[in-house]
Chains A and B, each alone.
Chain A
Amino acid sequence: MHIIVYLIPIAISFGLIGLGAFIWSVNSGQYEDLDGAAFRILDDEDVPLSGDRRG
């Protein structure tokens, strides 16, 4: 049972890492432009402007 002395802090610190990442992402503006981000990922810079007509 003594193992929980180690396991619980480890579990919580993993949670804290996730929480830290979330707070960082909010403060650095990752959620500022959800509409644009959805399109940017499809934007392939190698192809010249052919995607322009797409809806």
Chain B
Amino acid sequence: MTAAALDPELGCPSGLAPASRDHAEDFSAFVKSKGNENTLLLSIRGAKCGGCLKKIEQSILKLPGVSSARLNLSNGKLDVRWQGSLTAREISGTLTALGYGVSAFGEDTAQRAAKSEERSLLIAMGVAGFAAANIMLLSVSVWGGHGEMGEDTRTALHLLSGIIALPVLLFSGQHFFKSAWSVLRTGHANMDVPISLALVLAFGVSVWETLNGGQNAYFDASVMLLFFLLIGRFLDARLRRMAHAAAHDLAALQNRSVTRVAADGTTEAVPAGEILEGDTLMLSAGERAAVDLQITKGFSTVDESIVSGESEPRSAGPGATLYAGSINLDQQIEGRALGTSSDSLLSDISNMLEAGEQKRARYRKIADKAVSLYIPFVHSVAALTFVGWLILGASPREAILVAVATLIITCPCALALAAPVAQVVASGRLFKNGVYLRSGDALERLAETDHIIFDKTGTLTLGEPVLSTASVDHDSIKQAASLARASRHPLSRALVVAAGSGKVADNVSEHPGLGLEAIVDGEACRLGSADWIGAPATPSSGLSLWFRKGDNPPVQFEFEDQLRSEASDTLSQLAKRGYTFEVLSGDRSSAVQQAADALSISNWSAGVSPQQKAARLNELQQQGKTTLMIGDGLNDAGALSMAHASLAPGGAIDVSQSASDAVYSGGLDAIPTILAVAKRARTVMKQNFALAAGYNLIAVPIAVTGHVTPLIAAIAMSVSSIIVTLNALRISSGGT
């Protein structure tokens, strides 16, 4: 396993995601059987390119009895169907051996609802687009034949337009009508109220005019309005659904089978959600704890880096507490569940994520502010127009026609497109730079930040220990590595990386919490802690391992978690733009200080728990700072969701990726680009709203004075939408 973990063929061949070193878990509790056929839905982490698709599908198809394996690259869902005796563990084992992370696929109801909403918006948009194109076909002939076309022909074409428009308005317009009706009943108003009013009035007046043989019918305008608005609505729903994946991904981490030990000693696989407090669970080497456990039997080393950010694994024996999410590294242990999976540390973090999501939902976007100014404006202008024309002696029919024309022409096509189009173009630009944006309004929040908080391990540093002592001779490294290959301890792995390829020593025995032992060339060799080797206990600031062969003097290997090479350049670049920094890490204070000093960040804290991190973010917010949190571990997830805006590196665990606003691949140097594009997107959005307002300044006088015809309305609406879209396209070019 250790040697395999270093294989470059593991994981995503494009290098977009790091290879996973998870141990195969058992998902047999999630297999659905129907007759002969078994179905298993798995969620694959780390599959990012076409190479992954091929690798995964072909390897699974090679397993005996598998009839189909299909991976959805967009959401990582793998659908496996098979017949016969193949077990779920063999399937997940094949996937983990390829270097991908696996969990059972679970979709919550909120997510399913968001997905079906997006789908119905897409269909509504298609229907509206169809109708807009066909009615425009008829309208153009009416406009073109103005003065020559007979009244009967014109009425017939209007009628035909109305026949197409009616079902389309009822079908595609329901998204707006339903929402408008539900807020009106509570005595409030939202954007959908003026939209619904404009649609209904435009249609009603057009029917009236058609039946009376009038010249002006607004069927084309009402359907085109609907089409443009649905484009904006669809883009928005899509970005929002992608953002909502946070809670779901966390739930996926808990979608696992665990091995429960019954009172008589027999074991059975049960879903993690069914564990009760007091159950005895068995945790084999490499397995991740699903709930908080108190160890009852066995000694082992546990890797808690995902939970606490502590880079050094610790040894644990009976009585010790093991938090959910930590990985048991070397020996099988048994433990008593301290709670159900819903009150584990993992779900504490999940609650923090929810709180963060709610906080973000309260964020007032530029678009919301624009709408709150817009609604009263449009309604009063239309009402005043109606009253004004009546006072000036027009007939009610004329007055209504002018008021409806005003309502249609001021209706917010450009307003509805202003923000979503800018967001889509900006996220496209960032995507080209290897940055994946998780929500649209994230751009606005990213643009506002001024104080950047970094996690240390994995964010500022590489997150993996690297052998740092140059003085050790290569022979010792090679001999020590032959023992280290038998272990999955992070330091052993680092030693193997330094040694390169080679053989594993025979009969290596692992002593939990102490080290490794084997006989090499007839001499006893030991690799492990200083005490156990019999070396003089020298105080060491960092991580170290000792190796002794026979009676030779012991050799010390020192390791350090190195800073990323681009870190200091990036930080000085950001400092020039006026950002301030802070380091918030769960690691030991010596390690944090070293990193902070190297980057000359004076504001740092070490040994911070996940809850403290989130609390610190709240505190900063109350001091009036707009915070940008950058972190990668499970211990950062809460803080990431509490921050005003947040970023996670591509190597971060899934929960942190979903808790953040954007994920960047590559190094820290992506951060200045992200912030620059976000600022540019915000500027363009504001320009777009200014353009929409400017358009109304010109259009409203024309409409109020009664000079608007359906032709002018159609041109004005499409021109304003096109201008806003073209302006948004400027984000994709131009300097950072």
Residues of A at the B interface (CB closer than 8 Å) are 1, 8, 11-12, 15-16, 18-19, 22-23, 26-27, 31-36, 38-40, 42-43, 49, 51-55
Contacts and interface: CB of A to CB of B under 8 A. Distances in A.
B126 A35 contact: no
B130 A19 contact: yes
A18 B328 CA distance: 57
Interface in B101-131: 119, 122-123, 126-127, 130
Given A32-B72, A52-B51, 11 more contacts: A1-B153, A8-B160, A19-B127, A27-B119, A33-B74, A33-B75, A36-B71, A39-B54, A39-B73, A42-B50, A55-B15
A36 B54 CA distance: 10
Between A11, A36, A55, the greatest number of chain B beta carbons within 10 A of the residue's beta carbon is seen for A36
Nearest to B127: A19
B209 to A, nearest CB: 21
Main secondary structure of the interface of A (DSSP, over half): helix
A35 B431 CA distance: 13
B13 A40 contact: no
Contact of B13 (A16, A27, A42, A55): A55
B164 interface: yes
B13 A34 contact: no
B72 A51 contact: no
A12 B54 contact: no
Interface of B: 9, 13-15, 49-51, 53-55, 58, 71-75, 119, 122-123, 126-127, 130, 133-134, 137-138, 153, 160, 164
A55 B49 contact: yes
B580 to A, nearest CB: 37
Given A35-B73, A49-B54, A22 B164 contact: no
B146 to A, nearest CB: 17
Contacts of A34: 74
A12 B164 contact: yes
Given A8-B160, A15-B130, A32 B50 contact: no
A6 to B, nearest CB: 13
Nearest to A25: B126
A36 B440 CA distance: 23
Nearest to A34: B74
B130 A18 contact: yes
B119 A33 contact: no
9 contacts: A8-B138, A15-B134, A26-B119, A32-B72, A36-B53, A49-B58, A52-B55, A53-B51, A55-B14
A49 B53 CA distance: 11
A29 to B, nearest CB: 9
B133 A31 contact: no
A33 B50 contact: no
Nearest to A48: B58
Nearest to B73: A36
A31 B122 contact: yes
A19 B53 CA distance: 32
Given A12-B134, A19-B130, A51 B73 contact: no
Contacts of B73: 33, 35-36, 39
